[in-house]
Amino acid sequence: GQNIDQPTEMTATEGAIVQINCTYQTSGFNGLFWYQQHAGEAPTFLSYNVLDGLEEKGRFSSFLSRSKGYSYLLLKELQMKDSASYLCAVLDSNYQLIWGAGTKLIIKP
Partner 1 sequence: GAVVSQHPSRVICKSGTSVKIECRSLDFQATTMFWYRQFPKQSLMLMATSNEGSKATYEQGVEKDKFLINHASLTLSTLTVTSAHPEDSSFYICSARTVSTGDSYEQYFGPGTRLTVT
Q: Which residues bind partner 1 (CB under 8 A)?
A: 30-31, 33, 40-45, 48, 50, 87, 91, 95-97, 99-102
Residue 95 CB, nearest approach to partner 1 (Å): 6
Rounded distance between C-alpha atoms, residue 21 and residue 103, angstroms: 9
**Closest approach of partner 1 to the CB of residue 15, in Å:** 27
Residue 91 Cβ vs partner 1, minimum distance, rounded to whole Å: 5
The Cα–Cα gap between 52 and 62 comes to 10
Given the complex with partner 1, which of 55 and 74 has the nearer CB atom? 55
* Longest CA pairwise span in the chain (Å): 43
3-state secondary structure of 68: coil
**Using CA atoms, how far apart are residues 2 and 56, in angstroms rounded to an integer?**
28
We find the least distance from the C-beta atom of residue 75 to partner 1, in angstroms, to be 19
- Other beta carbons within 10 Å of 89: 21
Which residue number, 33 or 72, has a Cβ lying nearer to partner 1?
A: 33
Nearer to partner 1, 19 or 44 (CB): 44
Return d(Cα 24, Cα 101) in angstroms, integer.
12
Q: Which is nearer to partner 1, 43 or 69 (CB)?
A: 43
